[in-house]
């Protein structure tokens, strides 16, 4: 870069205002009035605790609510979502980011991979919704990170660490499905970083994290738009205030709860994308 001559109109070119890549004016919207009403009368039907530096899975039937709850201490969770009956349809963090921005909150949806590309879940409540975007450009529940993994750890530190979220998710998915570890690993994908506070530095554009503002009792809640298998890792980074990919940080369990609403009148599961898949042939 340094050996390049600055064009005479460099400032003008930089001053061009940005446009939103994917305007969402025509994106079909979830019926948040219906969801708000439905979540007033819920019955807990299932729950699982996620131990620190481990992962756990739970099935969330379509039309049920799932809560991820902070208990005991500040803790970040790495969430994978699958169509319960087809592991090839899974959460697509990149497209979710393109549609909803770097972080998700109430009213945003979590989208699935091609070719289904449909909402898998809708965020129906977020007790950290007050956080907004801080002075560093940080916010909560990101879809910009990937998941901590032993390959990057090995590259950067030369060590083998087996309790990164990638490995935790792999073991939990293998346990749920009965697949061998190496087959289960291939289904693990980029996550929703639940409760994690992240952004990009303005000067270098680097991915940063900072201590999560989550406190015990905080939760994020979703409506399952299709039958879901949710797998959640309690990240070895704890609140991600310092480091991950090690046993250094204080870590706490997370709780996943599944609730059935009394009624969800007129609601139907999300349909797969209607593109005809002919790709111009
Ligand atoms: Zn992690």
Q: Please state, in angstroms and rounded to a whole number, the distance separating the CA atoms of residues 224 and 71.
A: 22
pLDDT at 2: 60
For residue 281, is pLDDT > 60? yes
pLDDT-derived band at 148, boundaries 50, 70, 90: very high
The pTM for the full model equals: 0.94
CB contact burial 212-245 (16+ within 10 A = b; e otherwise): bbbeeebbbbbbbbbbbbbbbbbbbbbbbeeebb
Q: What is the pLDDT of residue 1?
A: 53
Over residues 104-118, the mean pLDDT reads: 98
Task: Calculate the average pLDDT of the chain.
Answer: 95
Domain residue spans of the chain: 48-261
Q: Residue 146 Cα, ligand 1 centroid: separation in angstroms? A: 9
Instruction: Give the residues across from 47 on adjacent strands.
Output: 257
Q: Residue 267: is its pLDDT beyond 80?
A: yes
Question: Ligand 1: distance of its center to the CA of 246 in Å?
Answer: 10
CA of 236 to the centre of ligand 1 (A): 6
**What is the whole-number distance in angstroms between the Cα of residue 147 and the centre of ligand 1?**
5
| Cα 3 to middle of ligand 1, angstroms | 39
Kindly report, residue by residue over 68-86, the tens digit of the pLDDT. Answer: 999 999 999 999 999 999 9
* pLDDT on residue 247: 80
Distance 168 CA to ligand 1 centre (A): 9
Task: Give the Cα separation of 196 and 235 in Å (integer).
Answer: 10
Instruction: Please write the tens of the pLDDT for every residue from 206-254.
Output: 999 999 999 999 999 999 999 999 999 999 999 888 877 778 889 999 9
Assess whether pLDDT exceeds 60 at residue 125: yes
DSSP state of 156: H
In the structure, ligand 1 is a single-atom ion and the residues with CB under 5 Å from it are 78, 148, 165, 235
Average pLDDT over residues 2-25: 90
pLDDT score, position 22: 86
- pLDDT (0 to 100) of residue 246: 74
* Cα distances (Å, whole numbers) of residue 67 to 46, 49, 123, 165, 220: 11, 12, 10, 19, 6
Measured between alpha carbons, how far is 246 from 279 in angstroms, rounded to an integer?
Answer: 45
């Amino acid at each position: 870069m340094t050996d390049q001559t600055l064009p005479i109109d460099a400032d003008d070119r930089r001053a061009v205002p940005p446009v939103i890549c994917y305007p969402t004016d025509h994106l079909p919207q979830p019926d948040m009035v219906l969801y708000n009403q439905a979540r007033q009368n819920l019955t807990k039907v299932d729950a699982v605790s996620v131990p620190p530096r481990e992962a756990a899975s739970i099935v969330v039937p379509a039309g049920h609510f799932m809560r991820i709850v902070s208990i005991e201490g500040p803790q970040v969770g790495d969430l994978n979502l699958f169509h319960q009956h087809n592991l090839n349809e899974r959460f697509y963090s990149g497209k979710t980011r393109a549609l909803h921005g770097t972080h998700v909150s109430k009213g945003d949806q979590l989208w699935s991979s091609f070719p289904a590309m449909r909402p898998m879940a809708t965020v129906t409540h977020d007790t950290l919704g007050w956080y907004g975007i801080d002075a560093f450009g940080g916010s909560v529940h990101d879809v910009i990170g990937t998941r901590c993994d032993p390959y990057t750890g090995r590259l950067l530190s030369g060590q083998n660490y087996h309790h990164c979220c990638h490995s935790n998710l792999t073991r939990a998915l293998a346990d749920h499905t009965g697949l061998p570890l190496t087959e289960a690993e291939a289904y693990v994908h980029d996550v929703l970083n639940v409760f994690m506070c992240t952004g990009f530095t303005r000067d270098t554009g680097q991915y940063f994290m900072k201590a999560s503002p989550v406190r015990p009792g905080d939760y994020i809640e979703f409506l399952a738009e299709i039958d879901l298998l949710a797998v959640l890792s309690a990240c070895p980074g704890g609140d991600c205030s310092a480091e991950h990919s090690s046993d250094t940080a204080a870590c706490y369990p997370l709780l996943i709860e599944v609730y059935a609403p009394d009624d969800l009148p007129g609601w139907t599961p999300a349909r797969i994308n209607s593109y005809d898949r002919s790709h111009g042939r």
